A and B are shown apart, each in its own frame.
Chain A
Amino acid sequence: MPSSMIDVFRAQLHSSIYWYKNNKWMFFSMFLWPYLLVGVMLGLGALVGNVSLFSKRVGVVDPAFYLLSASAVAMSSVGIVDAVAGFALYNRWLGTLNYIFLTPIREAKLMIAAGIPDSIITPLISVVAVAPAAFYFESIVGGLKLVIILLIMYMGMIPLVGLSVLAATALLFVREESNIISSITPFILLLSGVFYPVSVLPRALQVLSAYVPSKYVVDAAKLAAKYTSMPWGWVVLTLGILAGLGAIYNGVASYVVTKAEVAVKRKGVE
């Protein structure tokens, strides 16, 4: 019987769970990572700059909460790009790619379905990691804001998966052993305005950032840190933009992957 996308999703989800189970320290470090990052940034900021000036320029009330939320978004974005685009590269290194491609399913469906579990798990872990801080700073309201950010992150994940599938297809062609993704992710983070406002970027990059899904998630994190109540109109608009980007990127990705499938197989899966 041919395999379905659900079979691939289930297998990948289980393998991630097994991996976390067998790498407990790595798993726990994922919860510490946002705090370490924010600690270093605030510490360095206080030493060589001015934290209140940073708050004023970026437009946030509480820089620690903002930076924590932004770190969660950054970690999720990197995680999603890694999960989908890095899938081919990681499995090629391990020698598992050939065996995965022997699954009786179209390669395009396989690559999309295989990236989804980690795209769900990583944002969830990052939000759970910053939840104690959210409750500490803003009690139940902070918690609710995190739920909103998580939902927006999941919406942001959909177009990001499309972008990552395009990157994964390119990786299958390029056959480079170096990790190209590590060059892509900082660029995405820069254009998302995770740690610096997009407004300080050159004009061309500002235009480009409008097409980067994680930019909208970062904006949501900023708003959550800025307001005591969420501007619901803005939330709906953001969700609409992300849905639109998701439709475009995933549409293009599935078309490109379907076309690339034959070309990749002509060259050979390795």
Chain B
Amino acid sequence: MSSGNAILAEGLLKDYVTYIRKGFLRKRKRIIHALRGVSFRVRWSEVFGLLGPNGAGKTTTVKIITTLLLPDGGRALVNGFDVVKNPIKVRESIGVVLNVERGFFWKLTGRENLKYFGMLRGLKGKDLEEAIDRVVKLVGLDELRSIDKLYEEYSLGMKARLALARALLHDPPILILDEPTLGLDPPAARGIRELLVRLAKREGKAVMITTHNMFEAEIICDYVAIISSGKISAQGTVHELKRLVADKIPVSIKFSGKIASDLNAVSKLLFESTLSPHIRIKEVRDGFEARILVDAGNEEKAIASSINALVSKGFNVRRAEVVEPSLEDVFIAVTKGDGENAVIND
């Protein structure tokens, strides 16, 4: 394990050249700028999430980091090894899941598939058997008693577990997973998420995932980078990212009884009660709940003063809580709601 960052990407560039047919013989060259200077770092014992819409450059980034694709510019170090100059050392350091739906031999059992990929990595004999038993247990395939079934009989959840088992077979210090829970049912997805967090926190592995699933990123990622149009648009902890879009923090205040039936009257009442420059009334819901916006940075003081003001005016405040913007709000704000967003030059 290198002492620095587990993964370091600096200014990664990648263009794809494609051709559009303009007749039987004529075709026009088209350059797709898949990556336009992508930089990020993944630390040890951290779950890092790379989020982005389709075509943003997530898979291209993963392919470069895993040595399956050469960058046109920039550099990437994995476990301290350069992906271009020392790909063999990089491959020794990583366990990879690229697509949970395929990537195994259909006519071989789960165990035979793991044996094949283990042997490719130089594992043999007792070491190989022990490694298979260890990972099968770790991903929970032993509970399902499915490891000796043909892969073609596997459900999607079992396939995902087997893919993760293969990635862990040689006990790599770094895991790189492209959409590891895509299409899984909630219990299976939860199982995978819990395992990834456990591997990072208990075993000190660095885990990098790409995902569309904001909920997933929010609950398991220590650090998130949002990639859009081949560039990192924002990165930080989930909390830091949320602050990017919220200079005003929404706070929900719930009352024991209906405060008024006329919403305008309630707004006026609340405004007069909480005469603070840091507070703005956002909305009043069904007469029992009011949402106020407080300035970020002063939220604790502002919330306390508004509650005090409301209580002193005779309102029965039952509960007050900060309603954080979701990571999805951040994602949409940062990517501006783009869908397919690769940059194309004809």
Contacts and interface: CB of A to CB of B under 8 A. Distances in A.
Contacts of B96: 98-99, 102
Interface string B62-84: 01001111100000000000000
Contacts of B101: 95
A15 B112 contact: yes
A104 interface: yes
A10 B119 contact: yes
A94 B102 CA distance: 7
Interface string A1-22: 1111001101100110011001
A105 B104 contact: no
B115 A268 contact: no
A57 interface: no
B121 A94 contact: no
B104 A96 contact: yes
Contact of A268 (B68, B98, B104): B68
A195 B105 CA distance: 35
Contacts, number: 96
Given A22-B150, A95-B99, A101 B116 contact: no
Contacts of B23: none
Contacts of B108: 15, 18-19, 22
Which of B67, B68, B102 has its CB near the most chain A CB atoms (within 10 A)? B68
Interface in A249-270: 262, 265-266, 268-269
A268 B69 contact: yes
B282 interface: no
Nearest to B118: A11
Contacts of B104: 94-96
Contact of B68 (A4, A7, A98, A106): A98
Interface residues of A, number: 31
Nearest to A1: B122
A182 interface: no
Interface in B78-124: 88-89, 91-92, 94, 96, 98-99, 101-109, 112, 115-117, 119-122, 124
B161 interface: no
A19 B112 CA distance: 9
A7 B89 CA distance: 17
B14 to A, nearest CB: 9
B166 interface: yes
Contacts of A106: 88
Interface string A101-128: 1111110000000000000000000000
Nearest to A110: B120
Contacts of A4: 122
A3 B120 contact: yes
A23 interface: yes
A192 to B, nearest CB: 30
Contacts of B63: 268-269
Contact of A269 (B69, B92, B102, B112): B69
